[in-house]
Chain A
Amino acid sequence: DIQMTQSPSSLSASIGDRVTITCQASRDIRNYLNWYQQTPGKAPKLLIYAASTLETGVPSRFSGRGSGTDFTLTISSLEPEDIATYYCQQYDRVPITFGQGTRVEIK
């Protein structure tokens, strides 16, 4: 299985801060990497697919970069509604695997 490792596991930031979450794959996954946002009690929501393509309707303050084994999700200016847990997911190989999640909180 391809292991997906996110860092940090949690972070605390102020409104307006730039926030970056990293995701590292245990092997080359090309750009087959998605990012999801999950708020408590809700289903995950797709933010970015194919490493850098913004899903329709997702605010432009979210962006994704990377290829191969190293990827980042950036929130350019943190908003209160961005408080959530973020997951990366690879689809280069079966089984599809997710990172362990990064919880974003307000400082």
Chain B
Amino acid sequence: QPQLQESGPGLVKPPETLSLTCSVSGDSISRSTYFWGWIRQPPGKGLEWIGSIYYTGSTYYNPSLESRVTISIDTSNNQFSLDLSSVTAADTAVYYCARSWVVVTARGYFDLWGRGTRVTVSS
């Protein structure tokens, strides 16, 4: 049964960099049928797509965050990562990693999600 698991610090000080990793088990991150994405949800609010990465390393970012976001992939360890720089309190959220079937370039439907990790930005 494929699973995703987020890991990383639960507390980040502004204006440091938030770094999270998503470990994929039960499936290969190198399958050409999938993109791998990050989505976040501030407390009590809706879902925001951060960006996605293909196994080749091609990345697609939300323009609203693009200047601060880097998503990378490590196919040898079957994991991908998120770095979000210069964080503020507005970046406090639950961060989810998710698997997306490729329907069109970089986009599709997220059919498998991690449980999410809560990150608080506070000094």
Taking Cβ atoms with an 8 Å cutoff, the residues of A that contact B are 1, 32, 34, 36, 42-46, 49-50, 55, 87, 89, 91-92, 94-101
Contacts and interface: CB of A to CB of B under 8 A. Distances in A.
20 contacts: A32-B104, A32-B107, A34-B109, A36-B47, A43-B98, A43-B116, A44-B96, A44-B113, A45-B113, A49-B101, A49-B111, A50-B103, A89-B47, A94-B107, A95-B63, A96-B37, A96-B49, A97-B49, A98-B48, A98-B49
| Size class of the contact patch on chain B | 20 to 34
Given A44-B110, A44-B113, A45-B113, A32 B103 contact: yes
Contact of A46 (B60, B107, B109): B109
A36 to B, nearest CB: 8
B76 interface: no
Given A96-B49, A98-B46, A91 B108 contact: yes
A50 B101 CA distance: 11
A96 B46 contact: no
Provide the main secondary structure of the chain A interface.
Answer: loop
A46 B109 CA distance: 8
B13 interface: no
Interface in B90-123: 96, 98, 101, 103-104, 106-111, 113-116
Nearest to A100: B46
9 A-B pairs with the lowest CB-CB distances in the bound complex, closest first: A91-B107, A49-B109, A43-B113, A96-B49, A95-B62, A98-B47, A34-B109, A46-B111, A101-B46
A50 B109 contact: yes
